[in-house]
Amino acid sequence: MNEVEIKELINKGESHHLEFKREDENNRDFAKTIIAFANTDGGKILIGVNDDGNICGVSNSDMVMRRIDDIAYQRCNPPITVLQEVCRIDNKEIIIVSIPKGTQRPYMTDGRFYIRASNRIREATREEILRIFQKNESIFYDELPVAKSSLDDMEYKDIYNFFNNYINIRVNENDINYFLKNFNIINQENIPTIAGLLFFGKNPQKYLKEARIVCSYISGNDISEEPADLKNITGTIPEMINNVEQFINLYIPEPHKIKDFKPELTKEIPISAIREFVINALGHRDYTINAPVRIIIFFDRIEIHSPGNLPNTVTVDKIKLGGAHVLRNSTIYNFLYKYGFVTDLGSGIRRASELIKNTIEKEIGLEQNDSEFIVIVPRK
């Protein structure tokens, strides 16, 4: 970077991607800053610049650069490779340390994980750490044990039905735990997993309060309008899928058509397509986010809101083409497949989209914002 570019950068002040530091900062603070940038979106440290943007310079640039390399390698776990350059501004040397977004996230120092939030550094929460692991496909969140839950929270009637009728395995009391562990329904310490509770729990929302669906009916087209009907749908994932369908049936009319001189009732929008979108939301949502799936029936459209960003490498365009099949919740998706709710092709949204297009001659909308993925189904 040249002198003009650096001064412009300094004038903008500290930000999500920029931090000012004096060379006399302690090693721990440097390590925290490097870790935070690597765990978030990358960034730059300008060494030799005060917090207020005044340039103070460094006394020995070679020594400072060696020190930063040592910190990035020895105090960061895993070690982080940083890029450094020396620039002279107003007859003073400053060092620009560039930290890329890490490829082995999450990183930690002194046993703690840090992230960048706006123009500051803070310790990552448990949910944020898990989300980083999940994005890097280091773990599947739905396979983690649910704290304070136990085998007493499991509905064994549903478990036996699953193995006997959907897996075609005859299990008994002597070997049931073996199968529960191998199917990630419980962990090695006999604690139910998130996926286990969501499919076989007596009351999953006792521990997973936001693993639910909020359905609302608004007679107009504006989200600010008071819902004419609002229903909180809980239970296991199979139960929620069926109960959502009942709610939607209340507000999707069946226009009369005449076929072969006989009246015929057909739904305005294929319920099977809406069901597909709901299943997709429950199967692919980010369960680290404390928010429910939301289904809103408006006068002119239906919206299905699923918490979380799209998984790595998945884009809206890939979903439209039916070419996206990256699993966020491997065990949940496996159970949906075993129960016959989904195929293993990852083409559910495209298939449902084509069904709607053929029925009402309109395209669905797909949107992604910072916190959720939204399917918008137009009505006639």
| Mean residue pLDDT across the chain | 90
Q: Is residue 106 reached through a cis peptide bond, with omega within 30 degrees of 0 on the bond before it?
A: yes
CB-CB neighbours of 294 under 10 Å: 18
Q: How confident is the model at residue 311, as a pLDDT? A: 72
CATH 3.30.950.30 applies to domain 3-124: yes
The pLDDT of residue 228: 96
Q: List the single range of 7-11, 307-311, 312-316 with lowest mean pLDDT.
A: 312-316
Over 80: is that where the pLDDT of 146 sits?
yes
Beta bridge partners, 2, equal none
- pLDDT for position 128: 84
Q: What is the mean pLDDT of residues 313-333?
A: 77
Q: What is the pLDDT of residue 137?
A: 65
- Is the model's pTM score more than 0.85? no
- State residue 2's pLDDT score: 84
Q: Tokens 């429950």 identify what position?
A: 282
Write down the pLDDT at residue 349.
Answer: 85
Q: What residues does each domain of the chain span?
A: 3-124, 142-200, 213-378
Find out whether 284 and 311 touch, Cβ atoms under 8 Å: yes
Fold of 213-378: Heat Shock Protein 90 (3.30.565)
pLDDT band for 312, please (50, 70, 90 cuts): low
Compute the distance between CA of residue 1 and CA of residue 44 in angstroms, rounded to an integer: 12
228 in Cβ contact with 218 (< 8 Å): yes
